[in-house]
Amino acid sequence: MKKIFNYGIEHLTIGICLDIAAGNITGQLSETAKNQINLSWQAVQEIVVREHPVYGINTGFGPLCDTRISEKDTSLLQRNILQSHSVGVGAPIPAEIAKIMLITKVQALAQGYSGIAMATLDRILWHIEKNIIPVVPEKGSVGASGDLAPLSHLFLPLIGMGEVYMNENRISAAEMLKQHGLEPLVLGPKEGLALINGTQFILAFAVKGVERLHHALECADLIGAMSLEGLTGSARPFDPRLHQLRPFKGNIQVAARLTSLLSGSQIISSHAHCSRVQDPYSLRCMPQVHGASRNAWLHLKELTETELNSVTDNPVIFSADDTISGGNFHGQPLAMALDYACVAAAELGNIADRRCYLMNEGKYDLPKLLIADAGLNSGLMIPQYTTAALVTENKTLCFPASADSVPTSLGQEDHVSMGSISGRKLNQIIDNLEYIQAIELLYAAQAIDFRRPLQSGPVVEACHQLIRQKSSFATEDRIFALDIQAIHLLLTNGSFLKTANQTASAHHINLKHDESFSLS
């Protein structure tokens, strides 16, 4: 049987969220959660019949917050807000991201401070369970009153509007409802506002960014170790005594992993007493550079997990007599961390590009351009051009979106986070990083082959063998884009990291060390 997660009651982690999205865990509403939800809903019904104004329940929205809405029009108000705020543009976000938005919205609403009706939550849960995912445009949120535009598109299907992905097809929500014999929902007071106030667009990209950056960080140490082997670099800079003198958690983790990966290597031992005094920074400073990116990742992970279990609605309903119109929907807490993570991801690419360049230079008994017959063959000259282009593109994406603010809502929303842009940029940078890492693997595997018959440690050898199953040793020029694509697939489908971890486990090699860097 599948594991069960109780929305609004249990602590939602990044790992659990991703497992619900993948269908490995079933999310449900417990009786305790249902009681909380119903109490909040009843409080809203009481507010509606009173004369005292409460934002978004019996008033208009944004600059119209002082405009009173009659009891009979409260339902139409909620339907109108979904329609008027559905102004997103651009390509649709991945269905997985939209599904994570649904999951994280349920977790926020199920805590019982939003006045949502049980029937509305049940319909959202139905979408998650049936994997019928709304189509959400990627652009249009400023991340202030939450992610208004994308969340509006996300919930249009509840009222029979918008589009959904169903059985890998994109169809209208009206047709989807017809096929399943369902009627559009009639939203009650505050429900539309509760649905679209929140940070779930930013949060979904953060969840996915944490997962993808974690994978890239794990791969970075493995690929860096392979490059160091190919360049006959030293393992001395990874001595734990050195890093205890500057005990950043990320630095210590990377140094320990590199030490484990390089242990037992014939290549390392073959030049233990060579005349080289020290290696270039791209080899010697991997703990400091990869480690700094790990520290940034850890910060993002912690803040993302806090947001996963937060109420980001407005107003918040404590009771019919106690409501607070505040700013929990403001995206700045995640926006700044996502911008920090953009730099962290870009720097992994920067240092990888430098190692590619270093392997091309013809130093340390490697042939120039990593090919025996350079001249007639260009060898691996040009793949580094691609890494250079990608790292530069990533640098341009590192401008912090959260440092900007364009006032909206006639000045009522006079400071906005732009966190939706931060979240999208992080994932764009990781897209580029994965190709940079694939190219570094192409170089590292080629360089290691020039060290034969010497062998690396068991994990590096297993990774090298996996690469050679998809990309052979280059003796002459060929279309290296095909090699890059094949290696990129090994990275993105998890095969490369899985091979490394399984080999490490089989040889009792510890690559985990600090459990705080695990993805849970």
DSSP state of 159: G
| Nearest residue to 126 (alpha-carbon basis) of 186, 181, 194 | 181
CB 397 within 8 A of CB 480: no
Cα 520 from Cα 516, distance rounded (Å): 9
**CA 235/CA 58 separation, integer angstroms:** 67
Q: Which two tokens stand for residue 200?
A: 């779930």
Give me the DSSP letters along 82-136: HHHT---EEEEPPHHHHHHHHHHHHHHHTTS-S---HHHHHHHHHHHHHT-EE--
Strands (E), 117-226: 133-134, 137-139, 163-166, 169-172
Chain length of the chain: 520
- Distance, in Å, from the CA atom of 210 to the CA atom of 354, rounded to the nearest integer, reads 25
194 to each of 65, 168, 189, 259, 484, how far by Cα in Å? Answer: 15, 29, 10, 51, 46
- CB burial of residue 83 (10 Å; 0-12, 13-18, 19+): middle
Is residue 252 within 8 Å of residue 514, measured between CB atoms? yes
Task: Note whether 504 and 459 are within 8 A (CB).
Answer: yes
**Are the C-beta atoms of 26 and 4 separated by less than 8 Å?**
yes
List, by residue number, the catalytic residues: 55
Alpha-carbon span 310 to 301, nearest angstrom: 14
- With a CB cutoff of 8 Å and minimum separation 6, the contacts of 207 are 14, 17, 18, 100, 104, 304, 308
**Is the four-CA dihedral 102, 107, 110, 111 of positive or negative sign?**
negative
Give the C-alpha distances (Å, rounded to integers) separating 496 from 108, 348, 466: 36, 17, 7
DSSP of 365-430: TPPGGG-TTBTTB-TTTTHHHHHHHHHHHHHHHTS-GGG----BGGGTB-----HHHHHHHHHHHH
Work out whether the CA dihedral 482, 258, 509, 452 comes out positive or negative.
Answer: positive
For 37-40, the CB contacts below 8 A with 24+ separation are 37/8, 37/109, 37/110, 37/112, 37/116, 37/118, 37/121, 38/118, 39/112, 40/112, 40/113, 40/114, 40/115, 40/116, 40/317
